[in-house]
Structure 1
Amino acid sequence: MRILIVEDEKGILNFLKEGLQEENFAVDAASDGDEGLELALTNDYDMVLLDWMVPGVSGIEICRQMRQREISAPIIFLTAKDTVRDAVFGLEAGANDYIRKPFEFEELLARIRVQLREHGGEHARLELGSIQMNLDTHQVFKDETEIKLTQKEFALLEFLIRNKGKVCSRTRIIEHVWDIHFDSDTSVIDVYINFLRKKLDTGDGKNHIGTIRGVGYIAREE
């Protein structure tokens, strides 16, 4: 899952980025509203964390422009404002939730997961044919047999299953799974796809991970 953070307080920004990366999220960060707006309107995010008051374009304006462009990613405001009127103002601008500063990381993480679940992006269990993933215990099963995956193999499989039936380009995979946002050698993806195929081989000739030549990969039930 890929998250954008727009926050001008460097300490908070680094704290959030490191904490979310430890939770296996891919994270982009901006310390001012102009950069944050550009990232929000040009990239594909599963969640956006917006500081209400940042230099340049305000968090409120970023939120409004995202909704005007019909970008539906959930938005949580990070704000020092504490009146009901302020909260209503932020929600009416298009935010899904808000959390007052200072806050505990665990509370923010819980709110993020609630929003991702409500928007279809966060489930404790994922399935692909006879393959089941348990995100809480970080386990993968093929029928009743547990399959041992590395952290990166697990993240790659999770991304493909979340997008099953859709073609995932190498660019999207390298950005969401490897958290790399520039032109680079994507051959590492092919290597890990081969690892996954060998470990998930059902023995019945079915290959749940298909190759779209020249584009990327697709996860299929059959």
Structure 2
Amino acid sequence: MTAQILVVEDDSELADYLHRGLTYDGYHVRIAQSAEAGMEEVQCRKPDLIILDLMLPYTDGITACSNLRDKDYRGPILMLTARNTVDDRVLGLDAGADDYLVKPFDFEELLARLRALLRRKGAETSHLSYDDIVVDIGMRLAFRRDQTIHLSKTEYDLLVFLLTYPEQVHTRELLIEKIRGNNADPSSNVLDIYVHRLRHKLGEPPLIHTMHGVGYILKR
């Protein structure tokens, strides 16, 4: 599943530069120009990684980072700043940032740091489980009641996302974006087909439930 990155940056020129560069490198990218807009994106789309500017209007990056951790956002946060002081770096890391990059920066260094953060995230999440379903992330294998479930790549990606955020309602738009990318058609029935196949392969009792008019939820 392609990593989804949220860039919280009020400088429109830099935000556009990051959007174009990261998209070209294969990431799915969303832009928010304030901490408040960024929080809405996190709640709606659950990005895999956040690039967060320190100097934002209204709510600064330190406060925004702390708020994200208080709201139980567990993904990596890379903080950007034009201020290269030890105090600023300490404040950012103490607020919950995983890494720190000073402007101006080389784009290749940014990419290297993103890859390292995403690798670390993957290593920390070696297994996902809910009820009697277990997924081995490293081996890309799924099990229910110790029986191997043979899944396609898209079915696997869908199951991993649902296991990462169980007992939460996910909209059709979000799920389609997670498995098909930003340009997927939300009116397509492709999601329903994959959910149907995944339910069939997971067997009884059903754990993926339809929330009519909204989307799907993984729950007992």
Give me the whole-angstrom Cα distance separating, in 1, the residues matched to 2:164 and 2:219. Answer: 11
Residue 151 of structure 2 is aligned to residue 153 of structure 1? no
Secondary structure of 2:51 counterpart: strand
Q: Which residue of 2 aligns with 1:75?
A: 77
User: Structure 2 matches for 1:127-206, cutoff 5 A?
Assistant: 127-180=129-182, 184-185=186-187, 187-201=189-203, 205-206=204-205
Q: Distance in 1 between matches of 2:58 and 2:81?
A: 10
Cα distance in 1, alignment partners of residues 142 and 67 from structure 2 = 40
CA distance in 1 between partners of 2:142 and 2:122 (Å): 21
Choose which of 103, 107, 116 in structure 2 pairs with 1:110: 116
List aligned pairs for 1:82-101, cutoff 5 A: 82-91=84-93, 94-100=95-101, 101=105
Deviation, 1:89, is 4.4
Structure 1 range deviating more: 7-16 or 186-195: 7-16
Q: Is the 8 A contact 1:209 1:217 kept in 2?
A: yes
CA apart distance, 1:17: 4.1
Which residue of structure 1 aligns with residue 216 of structure 2?
217
CA-to-aligned-CA distance 1:2-59 (integer Å, 9 cap, x gap): 43124617555444345563xxxx53135xxxx3546304222444212446xxx469
Using the size of structure 1 for normalisation, the TM-score is 0.67
What SS does the corresponding residue of 1:140 show, helix, strand or coil? strand
Partners of 1:50 and 1:59 within 8 A in 2: no
Cα distance between partner residues in 1 of 2:218 and 2:169: 8
Query: How far off is 1:192 after superposition?
Result: 0.9
Letter in 2 for 1:16: L
- Contact (CA 8 Å) 1:52, 1:60: kept in 2 or not? no
Q: Which residue of 1 aligns with 2:40?
A: 42
CA distance in 1, matches of 2:114, 2:212: 40
- 8 A Cα contact 1:79 1:98, kept in partner: no
Q: Unpaired runs of 5+ in structure 2?
A: none
Distance 2:71 2:132 in 1: 34
How far, CA to CA, are the matches of 1:157 and 1:190 in structure 2? 13
Query: Closer, same or farther in 2 for the Cα pair 1:211/1:150, shift >3 Å?
Result: same
Could you tell me which amino acid in structure 1 is paired with residue 77 of structure 2?
Answer: I
* Superposed displacement of residue 66, structure 1: 6.4
Tell me how far apart the structure 2 counterparts of residues 198 and 10 of structure 1 sit (CA, whole Å).
42
Give the residue type in structure 2 aligned to 1:167: V
3-state DSSP class of the match of 2:190? Answer: helix
TM-score (norm 2): 0.68
Equivalent in 11, 16, 26 of residue 22 of structure 2: 16
Provide structure 1 residue ranges, at least 5 long, that are not aligned to the other structure. Answer: none
* Number of equivalences: 202
Alpha-carbon distance in structure 1 between the residues aligned to 2:136 and 2:24: 24
SS of residue paired to 1:152: helix
Identical aligned pairs, as a percentage?
Answer: 28
C-alpha deviations, 1:61-97, integer Å up to 9, x for none? 24535656965536321346543133134446x4523
Counterparts in 2 of 1:82 and 1:71: CA distance versus 1, 3 Å: same
